Amino acid sequence: MDNTKDSCLICEKHKGIDHQPPGGYIYKGKYFSICHAPLATGPLGTVFIESNRHLLDYAEMTQEELAAIGSLLGQIYQHLKKITGAERIYQVTMLEGVPHFHTWLVPRRNSDQEKGVAFISKDLTCQLADVQGFSHKLQQALGS
C-alpha cells in the first residue's frame, strides 16, 4: 500500500482529528470499528465497518482480521435487521473515495419501493437524533 495514510480521512477519524461520525463510534474492536454513515449519505441504520489499521482490501488483511470481520458481519447483519426492520442488508465496498478499508452496510426495509442499485443510488438522508438513538441500540446489541 502507498503512503496515503498520512492524509487518510479514515485514519484522521480514528485519531479524533476530523470527520467524526454522527453519534460517535458504535463499536471499537481490536481490528475494526463501526460507525453510522454521515447523515446525508444513506438511510437510518447505514453503518461503516472500518479497519483500524491502514489497509486497502481483504487481500491485505491478516488471517485474524479476516476471521474477525466475518464474525462481525454476521452479528451486524442480524442486529441491523432486528433494529431497523430491514428485509435486506446491502453491503457495498468500493474503496475509491478513501483508500482505507471500509464497507457500507445499508438496510433496505420492506416499505422501500426501490431495490438493488436503484435503492442504493437514491438520495437518502437521516436525522442526528434518530442516528443517536439507533447507535445506542446497536451498541447495546453488540455489548459494547
Q: Which amino acid does the sequence have at 144?
A: S
- Which range of residues forms the domain containing residue 72? 4-142
Which residues on adjacent β-strands are paired with residue 21?
A: none
Positive or negative, the Cα torsion across 123, 119, 45, 68? negative
126-135, pLDDT tens digit by residue? 999 999 999 9
Cell 462481525 sits at which residue?
A: 72
51-90, pLDDT tens digit by residue? 999 999 999 999 999 999 999 999 999 999 999 999 999 9
Overall domain count for the chain: 1
Query: Distance between CA atoms of 28 and 128, rounded to whole angstroms?
Result: 20
Give yes or no for residue 9 having a pLDDT over 60.
Answer: yes
Q: Which among 59, 83, 90 is positioned nearest to 140, based on CA atoms?
A: 83
Q: Report which of residues 34 and 17 the model is more confident about.
A: 34
pTM: predicted TM-score of the whole model, two decimal places: 0.91
In the predicted model, what is the mean pLDDT of residues 5-27?
89
83-114, pLDDT tens digit by residue? 999 999 999 999 988 999 999 999 999 999 99
- Helix (H) or strand (E) run with residue 55 in it: none
Structure-block grid coordinates of residue 25 = 463510534
Are β-strands 86-92 and 32-36 bridged in parallel, bridged antiparallel, or unpaired? unpaired
The CATH number of the domain holding residue 94 is 3.30.428.10
